[in-house]
Chain A
Amino acid sequence: ETGVTQSPTHLIKTRGQQVTLRCSSQSGHNTVSWYQQALGQGPQFIFQYYREEENGRGNFPPRFSGLQFPNYSSELNVNALELDDSALYLCASSLGAARGTGELFFGEGSRLTVL
């Protein structure tokens, strides 16, 4: 058990709606990153938060946004949902933000279906 918890586990939205996914980091971890895993694909990096600031982003449009709170928990917000946003969204936490600082601990994910 990794200690990273995500909610909700499953949800269904319609195209054009907005969604918020939540993540609680493993105790003591100050860095959170989010990944999108489409069916049959590997996870794709969305962005990383360190000390409440976004400090790295993958190839995702601005309608994907996030927050990190003082307790290091995090939210992923997606506006104007599209059908292609249907995926498993994974949150991962780590002890540091620097490259090579160690292991990412993943939650079990939130499965989003967009109809």
Chain B
Amino acid sequence: AQSVTQPDIHITVSEGASLELRCNYSYGATPYLFWYVQSPGQGLQLLLKYFSGDTLVQGIKGFEAEFKRSQSSFNLRKPSVHWSDAAEYFCAVGASQAGTALIFGKGTTLSVSS
């Protein structure tokens, strides 16, 4: 069955420090992978996506993610975190039930300390 696991429920990072959020997926075929961010009271915003090709994907707001098929992982990284990055981050994989349907992980809450 398709699934997404985000092992870290809550992470605190100092402003200016680097960030890595972990994501592991289970999917039988070539996965379509996504990272979304959700700020309080807001909808989900797409940070980046991987469909095929280069396994290092660049996104908005300085984020990047690396697809590693051998590890079934799609970790999100940012070299220097800003206070405005504090939010909930969701990893998702394209589901098979419908074309654009996604299966989301439970999310990782990022707090940024000064």
Show the binding face of A for B, using Cβ within 8 Å: 2, 4, 31, 33, 35, 40-45, 47-48, 50, 55-58, 90, 92, 94, 96-101, 103-104, 106-109
> How far is it, in angstroms, between the C-alpha of A101 and the C-alpha of B27 when the chains are bound?
18
Q: Which residues of B contact A92 (CB under 8 A)?
A: 44, 100
- Most A C-beta atoms less than 10 A away, residue of B36, B41, B42, B102: B102
Q: Are A97 and B98 in contact (CB under 8 A)?
A: yes
Once A41-B106, A103-B46, A104-B46 are accepted as A-B contacts, the answer to whether A96 and B100 lie under 8 Å apart by CB is yes
Taking CB as reference atom, which chain B residue is nearest A57? B97
Kindly list the 7 A-B residue pairs having the minimum CB-CB distance in the complex, ordered from nearest: A56-B98, A42-B104, A106-B43, A48-B98, A106-B44, A99-B99, A108-B43
**Are B43 and A90 in contact, CB atoms less than 8 angstroms apart?**
yes
| Residue among A33, A41, A107, A108 making CB contact with B98, cutoff 8 Å | A33
What residues make up the interface of B, taking CB atoms closer than 8 Å to A?
4, 32, 36, 41-46, 49, 51, 90, 92, 94-95, 97-107
Residues of A within 8 A of B43 (CB): 2, 4, 90, 106-109
Contacts of A35 in B (CB 8 A): 104
Q: Is the CB–CB distance between A45 and B97 below 8 Å?
A: yes
Q: How far is the CA of A51 from the CA of B43 in the complex (A)?
A: 24
- Set of chain A residues within 8 Å of B92, measured between Cβ atoms: 42
How distant is B103 from chain A, measured CB to nearest CB, in Å? Answer: 7
- Report the separation of the CA atoms of residues A94 and B98 in the bound assembly, to the nearest whole angstrom: 13
Whole-angstrom distance between the alpha carbons of A33 and B104 in the complex?
A: 14
Shortest beta-carbon distance, A13 to chain B, in Å?
A: 21
Closest to A95 in B: B100
Q: Let me know if A48 and B101 touch, CB within 8 A.
A: yes
Which B residues are in CB contact (< 8 Å) with A33? 98, 100-101
Could you show 18 A-B contacts with beta carbons less than 8 Å apart? A31-B99, A33-B98, A33-B101, A45-B102, A48-B97, A48-B99, A48-B101, A55-B98, A57-B97, A58-B95, A58-B101, A97-B98, A100-B94, A103-B46, A104-B102, A106-B36, A108-B42, A109-B43
Complex Cα spacing A108 to B94, Å: 21
